[in-house]
Amino acid sequence: MQVHASIHIYNFTTGPQFAYSGNHTFQPFVRALAGGAFSGMAINVLLNNVPQTGEVSDTDTSFALGGSAGTDIRFAKYFAVRVAADYLRTYLFNEGQNNLRGAVSLVYRWGRGG
């Protein structure tokens, strides 16, 4: 018997970013985020590649709230490394989800010295 399951989750948020620019090398920031979340799931049960039941599927949408904090660490005139952590709270399928994410990325600043 095989069970095929697929789950898709999409989050979309927006909000203000506040940054401290008093230090040329380190530029910390925080973000307040609000938006929504969408999730869809489908499950199929197969026996010898023959479906045993119809596909079971469901979708849900939810409000999403979160925040982010991090810092840009400048190492050249136009380049910095960004280290950030994000938190996102959703409530899909009548259950609360707490999501954490960490990121390290390269930042290129346009203009005269960023």
| pTM for the structure as a whole | 0.73
Query: Which residues, at least 6 apart from 79, have a Cβ–Cβ distance to it below 8 Å?
Result: 106, 107, 108, 109
Q: How many CB atoms lie within 10 A of CB 19?
A: 13
Give the per-residue pLDDT at 91: 94
- Summarised one tens digit per residue, pLDDT across range 19-46 is 998 888 999 999 999 999 999 999 988 8
**Under CATH, which number does the domain 2-108 receive?**
2.40.160.20
- Residue with more model confidence, 15 or 24: 15
Domain range list for the chain: 2-108
Question: DSSP string spanning 46-84?
Answer: EETTEESSPPEEEEEEEEEEEEEEEEEEE-SSSEEEEEE
- Summarised one tens digit per residue, pLDDT across range 57-101 is 899 999 999 999 999 999 998 999 999 999 999 999 999 999 999
